[in-house]
Amino acid sequence: MTEPSITQELDTSGLLCPLPVLKARRALNTMHSGQRLRVIATDAKAPGDFAAFCEQSGDLLVEASQDGERFRIVVQKR
């Protein structure tokens, strides 16, 4: 069984909290259940912000990793 692919990517580089989460929420609202959104962020608070967002929204935080100064966050819509 293969993992779902990324449906949409959102680059929020340079934006600070809460803008990355707000933009991601707007994007997720246009997506269907099971689809995945990849967010690229440079705000060091992004991983924690997305963990809290997913806990509240019921969406699944699939990945929160760091590559240099960038964070890659993958959220699967509930």
Chain segment 28-76, per-residue pLDDT in tens: 999 999 999 999 999 999 999 999 999 999 999 999 999 999 999 999 9
Which candidate, 67, 66, 74, 78, places its Cα nearest to that of 31?
A: 78
Task: Write the pLDDT tens digit of every residue in 8-28.
Answer: 999 999 999 999 999 999 999
Contact 50, 38 (CB under 8 A): no
> What is the separation, in whole angstroms, between the first and last Cα of the chain?
19
**Per-residue pLDDT at 4:** 77
Q: Please give the positions annotated as active site.
A: 17
Kindly report the pTM of this predicted structure. Answer: 0.93
Give domain 6-76's CATH number out of 3.30.450.90, 3.30.70.270, 3.30.70.100, 3.30.110.40: 3.30.110.40
Per domain, the residue ranges of the chain are: 6-76
pLDDT of residue 2: 62
